[in-house]
Chain A
Amino acid sequence: MDYDNGEKDFINIVGFACTYCAFKASEMAGSLRLKYPEGVKVIQVPCSSRVDPAFVIKAIFEGADGVFVAGCHPGDCHFIRGNYFTRRRIFALKEMFDAFSMRGKVRLFWTSAAEARKFVEKVTKMYEDLKEGKNEG
């Protein structure tokens, strides 16, 4: 990862989306032909709680300009309680990146399977912020 806070013309964002909510939202975004920046690439996981902070750290240092974790709204997880743990874990991870002045690079958001537009909004905003070099969040 190159350390700089300047503008770039193309950035890479890797995202984790849970099968039952966020990934479905991203599928619907495709069905609705909504557009979002090409640098955003999504990895499917069964539950957002599968996301090990080690994955996020590895992605950041392997060249991703940003990483997001998207899951079901707390209380609506298909696996009942998984995303409560995601919430704590990723919140702590963001705090760690904040300590290193890199908070903007890791994001967490919740979407239900129907919220395709919200998914697109969130990833687009993230892309634009990071393109402008807003790494500190």
Chain B
Amino acid sequence: MKGKRIERENFLNALKRFAKEGPGLLLGFERKDRKFRTKVFRKEFDDLSLFNPVFQVNTAIHLRRIFSKDLKIVCILRPCETRAYVELTKLTQVEPTSLICGSTDCFGTVSSKRDDLSFPEKPEDLKTFLENLSDLRYACQTCRHKNGVFGDFGIRIDSDWNFWFIPYTERSVPLYELIEGPESEIPEAFKREEERSKTLFQTDLQEFRKDFEKCIMCLNCRDMCPVCYCVDCLFNSDEYLPKGDALINSIMRSKASEIPKNKEVYHFIRMYHVSQTCVGCGSCEEACPQNIPLTKYFKGISERLSGLFDYVSGRSFEERIPYTTFKEEELDNASD
């Protein structure tokens, strides 16, 4: 596979040219005044940062319902965010021809709920800082897709801490060509190796109830999930989460219950709905005001259920989501 070595200068120049020729936008991270933010760049790219070790939201959530064609938006995001983007294109929630979305090698992130973070001033110290980042979020500690191998292109770091831009699809070629410098074979060893297999997630209802005791049913987890794309969610109507008179009705039909009602139904159904497309980014847990360990459950179930079909969400633009297809000969042991 071929790619190009990039340094700060030639890459920023390529982006500037891209923005002018486009006209284009860049969605990525910014490092300014010792703080990391997500930003849309238009003309000035000097504060562009390829990394953002502070996780607030999964940036792909902002890409939903962008349908205009003939735009040129470059996105340089974390692998989990790019994977969410790929899944959203398969669900016709984003117009893929308007975006060139790539992923960088990720060192993991810490929660934005922390106030005690301090970041190094000088860019040279960034390398040590990122490599030694501790107290990562659970989602990042258990992440097995930290490499920039998703989306339209990847920005990867080799063992000598050189940066490489590697195009994966046709869409990234216009940007790739603007990068000055020779094209060459990419090195064999990159910075990170993928971890090997994990144990399957196993729990029981007792543990679930203990963990979700504090759940106030604010539905933040659903609202911040990048792949919960429905414009009018199932839980807005009264069949599963009755409200008002419907709530009284349902209580009259069953036994007395604690309020809020139907916590298990909500979380179980949502867990099933995102089981194939979940990218394990932990946005749900990040958004939870009660700090419930949502990632453990959602990522765990998603890995088990997508593992049944050898499916990895966001791995390919062409791979069909498992519930929308089938093989005639398969799952002989499905029936009891």
Chain A contact residues, CB within 8 Å of chain B: 3, 53-54, 57-58, 61-63, 74-75, 81, 84-85, 87-96, 99-102, 107-110, 122, 126
Contacts and interface: CB of A to CB of B under 8 A. Distances in A.
Contact of A93 (B265, B272, B300, B326): B272
Contacts of A101: 202-205
B216 interface: no
Interface residues of B, number: 36
15 contacts: A3-B206, A58-B269, A74-B328, A75-B328, A88-B322, A89-B323, A91-B331, A95-B304, A96-B268, A99-B203, A100-B203, A107-B336, A108-B334, A108-B336, A109-B335
Contacts, number: 91
Lowest 5 CB-CB distances: which A-B pairs, in order? A84-B326, A91-B334, A101-B204, A107-B336, A57-B268
Interface of B: 200-206, 208-209, 234, 239-240, 254, 262, 264-265, 268-269, 271-272, 275, 300-301, 304-305, 308-309, 322-323, 326, 328, 330-331, 334-336
Contacts of A84: 326, 328
B264 to A, nearest CB: 5
B265 A61 contact: yes
Given A3-B205, A108-B335, A122-B336, A58 B326 contact: no
Contact of B254 (A57, A63, A81): A63
Nearest to B200: A99
A49 B128 CA distance: 54
B271 A96 contact: yes
B275 A96 contact: yes
Contacts of B264: 57, 61
Contacts of A57: 264-265, 268-269, 272
Contact of B269 (A53, A81, A91, A126): A53
B323 A85 contact: yes
A62 B272 contact: no
Nearest to A90: B334
B334 A54 contact: no
Given A53-B272, A85-B326, A99-B201, 15 more contacts: A3-B209, A53-B269, A74-B328, A81-B326, A84-B326, A87-B326, A90-B334, A91-B331, A92-B305, A93-B272, A96-B271, A99-B301, A100-B204, A101-B205, A110-B335
A99 B334 CA distance: 16
A59 to B, nearest CB: 10
Nearest to A137: B336
B326 A88 contact: yes
A119 to B, nearest CB: 13
